[in-house]
Structure 1
Amino acid sequence: MMPFPPPPEPLNAAGEPRRLGFELELAGIDTDALCNTVQTTFGGDVEGEGPFLRHVRGTELGDFTVEIDTALLKDRTYLGVLQRLGIETDEAGWRAPLEDLLARLAGTVVPHEVSSGPIALTHAHEMERLRAALQAAQARGTRSALRFAFGLHLNPEVPALTADSLTRHLRAFLLLRDALRVDGNIDLTRRLSPFIRDFPEDYVRRVVAPVYQPDLAGLARDYARDNATRNRSLDLLPVLAHAAADALPTAVREDPLLKPRPTFHYRLPNCAIDEPDWTLGEAWRGWVAVERLAADREALDSLAEAYLAHSRAALPGPDEDWAARTRLLLA
């Protein structure tokens, strides 16, 4: 099993152990079975009814959320649409079979998602037990169908809420993103989908330059100007909304899907839950490589200068030459 190595900065700004949240997108298992798998693995109590949104609370790793990843169903927005069409939705016994049908139909194209709360890094490896249980329950992952673009999202708590720390981590990710995409064998469907779009190259070169040293407000303004979307392979909007909300545009700040929190939102990895050799630790090791580079200022500046001197491939997708130059940093 791929281990969960510690990051170079294991404590948060308060001097407490950092925590890590997980979001796994998958198919092949309905909400009931997913809740049962979480409960069987970690204990806890299932709360909520219906096929779209449930919680498993009080497990040995904290609380979990199980949902179908579309607001139209979770928020029951579809009921208003039916009512406007003159379809009565309040008749006894009518809603449950409709929601079961919608859940089955949605599950063929929209992922189910299992999300953990923040887990202490010292216990994050326990999530491999859930990964193995979901695999045994025949969960389907990223490459099990061409229409799937499922991802594993990691939400590591930031070591510091400072402009210097956030900028170094963003810079390190931008320098390693090609190697992470190549080594992670990021699925073509995911790369073509809107969910993990690459950063604009003009923005990358501005941030990578060692002379780029903004304050928190400047970092937030610059980021939102070129990346006013959650659909980046590293999404900084949650932590920027937590640390510098006033610097973000109103439309970004008031996005109902934006959840301010002191974490990075690392969205790049596949969720290959049905592949026997795939582990959560594999994706975590890729992120730790980013943190290690961010912590080594001399190596970070040296690699940044090399990137700025490099002629990047014009084709879409990862730059294979740059990936080859930086792959050793992932070891």
Structure 2
Amino acid sequence: MVIVDLPSTKTATGDERRVGVEIEMNGVPLQQLAQLIADELDLTLNAEGRYQYRLTGDSAGDWQVEVDFRLLKEMGQQDYQAGEWSDEFKQRLESMLHRVSEPFVPLELVSPPLPLSRLNEVEKLSQRLHAAGAKGSSNQLTNAFGLQFNPELPALDANTIRRYLQAFVCLEEWLKQRDQTDLARRVTPYIDPFPRDYVRHLLAADYQPDLATLIDDYLHWNPTRNRPLDMLPLFTELDESRVRAVADDPLIKARPTFHYRLPDCQIQRADWSPALAWDDWCQVEFLAFDEARLAECSAALRRYLRNPLKRWFKDWVVELEAQWLLPSSQ
């Protein structure tokens, strides 16, 4: 993974920015997968029930490898007593759930927040998992597996967050085409696009909200985690009561990061790499930090959205690639 020199690699406090990585896959048994990762990263493997492992010993924090099925993980925490009818029933139920869900419920690898300079380790680990037989998303409805990045922001002020959001909606269609999101994930609601009315509101030339207004506007149109760029963890970190009043989902975890959920995991392909999706994300970073280019790109998308002839006969992605992207990812 070649790490692009981002326009801002430090946080407001001067620390190196960090990014969490989540990879969904199957094809390798859970314990074998966890042991492989522990060996590759020289970590200590700790079982936390029958369906989740914690890997300790990394200075950045603990890694997790688990079945992405909350009920099954809860059942896997229980100890069953031989000879107890109720426990035998629960054990059979757990076994059935595991067997039925195994083909389509992914195993999930969750990294700690890694310094940007350590992203190459994710690339090496991905190659090792591919060699071991890991499989990602496919054109079957049973396999809708993703790759997710949780990049820490360089600053947490309203202006910085607004610019990132504007840059993302400008690039959203291009990112989807680049990722070639497969059928299994397109038909699920996990990455529903931002509503057109919100995009128009966000891209207005005079849109300069304070933080409270920025959060309220987002929640008005997006009271859900199911967006390709999920802002709820970040906004919960900044104003938890405001977010919980509208979207009180226990799966929303406060953290000072974006939650970029769009990319597929295609780890079964020899030519696939997390670097492909990360390189595309970097285009969002560069556009967000080039205010003149962002303003011009936003204006062009506004014109495109309000002109039905353009929407019928022209392709926004073609215009975007011709005028607004940096050449490195085209």
> Are the equivalent residues in 2 in contact too, given 1:32–1:51 (CA < 8 A)?
no
Within-5 A mapping of 1:254-293: 254-293=248-287
Amino acid at match of 2:124: R
Cα distance between partner residues in 2 of 1:312 and 1:129: 45
1:255–1:174 Cα change, 3 Å: same
Does 1:114 find its partner at 2:113?
no
Query: Contact 2:236 / 2:243 at 8 angstroms: preserved in 1?
Result: yes
Per-residue deviation, 1:327: 2.7
Specify which of 93, 100, 105 is matched with residue 105 of structure 1. 100
Instruction: Identify the residue that residue 186 of structure 1 maps to in structure 2.
Output: 181
Q: Does 1:70 align with 2:69?
A: yes
The answer to whether the 8 Å contact 1:31/1:112 transfers is: yes
Superposed CA deviations along residues 242-283 of structure 1, whole A, max 9, x for unmatched, are 01223224252x421110000000001110011111111111
- SS of 2:191 mapped into structure 1: coil
Selected match of 2:218 from 215, 219, 223: 223
* CA deviation after TM superposition for structure 1 residue 146, in Å: 3.9
Q: 1:313 to 1:188 in 2, by over 3 A?
A: farther
The equivalences for 1:1-331 within 5 A come to: 2-59=1-58, 62-76=61-75, 88-90=85-87, 99-143=94-138, 145-252=140-247, 254-311=248-305, 321-327=315-321, 329=325, 330-331=329-330
Structure 2 vs 1, CA of residues 88 and 301 (structure 1 numbering), >3 Å: closer, same or farther? farther
Q: Please tell me the root mean square deviation across aligned C-alpha atoms, in Å.
A: 2.4
The one-letter code of the counterpart of 1:154 is: F
Provide the rounded CA distance (Å) in 2 between the counterparts of 1:42 and 1:62.
12
The answer to whether the Cα contact below 8 Å between 2:148 and 2:259 also exists between their aligned partners in 1 is yes
Alignment-mate amino acid for residue 90 of structure 1: D
Corresponding letter in the other structure for 1:151 = G
Unaligned runs of 5+ in 2: 79-83
Q: Could you tell me how far apart the structure 2 residues matched to 1:150 and 1:312 are?
A: 35
Equivalent residue letter for 1:260: A
- 1:42–1:60: 8 Å Cα contact kept in structure 2? no
1:41 and 1:104, CA in 2 relative to 1: closer, same or farther beyond 3 A?
A: farther
Conserved in 2, the CA contact under 8 Å of 1:235 and 1:267? yes
Cα separation, partners in 2 of 1:106 and 1:77, compared to 1, 3 Å: same
Q: Structure 1 residues 59-68 or 41-50, which shifts more?
A: 59-68
> Does the 8 Å CA contact 1:43/1:60 hold for their aligned counterparts?
no
The alignment partner of 1:125 has SS state of: helix
User: Is the alpha carbon distance of 1:292 and 1:247 closer, same or farther for their aligned partners in structure 2, counting shifts above 3 Å?
Assistant: same
For 1:205 and 1:51, the matched residues in 2 are separated by: 48
Number of aligned pairs?
316
Q: Write the letter of the residue equivalent to 2:37.
A: V
Q: Which has the larger displacement, 119-128 or 206-215?
A: 206-215
Q: Give yes or no for contact 1:68–1:110 (8 Å, CA) kept in 2.
A: yes
Q: Which residue of 2 aligns with 1:83?
A: none
Matched residue type, 2:273: T
Q: Is the 8 A contact 2:53 2:66 kept in 1?
A: yes
Identity of aligned residues (%): 39
Deviation of 1:144 (Å): 6.3
Paired amino acid for 2:229: L
Give the secondary-structure state (helix, strand or coil) at the position aligned to 2:22: strand
Counterpart position of 1:82: none
TM-score normalized by the length of structure 2:
0.89
What code does the residue aligned with 2:160 have?
S
> Unaligned regions of 5+ residues in structure 1, if any?
80-86
Moved more, 143-152 or 186-195: 143-152
TM-score under structure 1 length normalisation: 0.89
* Contact 1:64 1:117 (C-alpha < 8 Å) held by counterparts: yes
Answer whether contact 1:71 1:77 (CA < 8 A) is retained. Answer: no
Deviation at 1:221, TM superposition (A): 0.9
